Amino acid sequence: MLRAHAEGIRGTLRIGVECYPCYEWLTGAIGRFLDAEPDIEVDILGQVHFSGVEGLIQKQVDMLITPDPHPHPVLRYDALFDYELVLLAAKSHPLGAHSLVEAEDLSDITLFSFPVPNERLDIFTAFFWPASVRPKRHKRLHSVEIMVQMVAHGRGVCALPAWLASRYANEFALSTIQLGSAGIQKTLHAAIRSEDAELPYIQRFVTLGRS
């Protein structure tokens, strides 16, 4: 058993999740990994249970799913996939007919977001703040489903990864709108300790995540 653990055949993969949409992505990836690695136990930890990059360095988790890499000499970041952050609005909303919006277009709206500090929200750091604009109202919600329902009923708008926004767009008659002329481009990463990079089940997770 010790040899099997050392060779990465058996073990426990503790995955830390650093963003709310990461959970949504993980639900699609985790089943395939469990099928591919029946001898590997998997634990999923939200950020209230560990301290982000520091938790990875201190071995509270073995992998961190994050869109915000913070380079560190003992860590390695493997890119999983690129995506665009887009605005989601009801088709009946005044912004619903737009294909592109600038920050000034959102100065009189209600923005829904996940309950994290503004400095960790890309729509603030990459869209509002460079233009010295802020939304009229900002409300935080824990649930993506409730957020989408609020948007669908015209109570405001929200920003989601395009792959997640498209999941709800047709179901709730929503428009996906580009944020700025260049859009907001992001990459989801799997952060791991360099010493664990060659473990077979770590490599398998990254491979499945990219597909």
Residue with tokens 């995506």: 83
Judge whether 155 and 135 are in contact, CB under 8 Å: no
Q: CA 43, CA 54: separation in Å to the nearest integer? A: 18
The DSSP letter of residue 211 is -
What pLDDT score does 174 carry? 96
- State how beta strands 11-17 and 40-46 pair: parallel
Helices then strands, each counted (H, E), the chain: 7, 10
Phi, psi of 73 (to 5 degrees): -60, -25
- One-letter amino acid at 155 equals R
What pLDDT score does 27 carry? 84
Q: What is the pLDDT along the chain (211 residues), one digit of tens a residue?
A: 566 566 655 678 999 988 888 888 888 888 899 998 888 889 988 765 556 788 899 888 999 999 989 889 999 999 999 999 999 999 999 999 999 999 999 999 999 999 989 998 999 999 999 999 999 999 999 999 999 999 999 999 999 999 999 999 988 999 999 999 999 999 999 999 999 988 888 999 999 988 8
Output the pTM of the full model: 0.85
What pLDDT score does 147 carry? 96
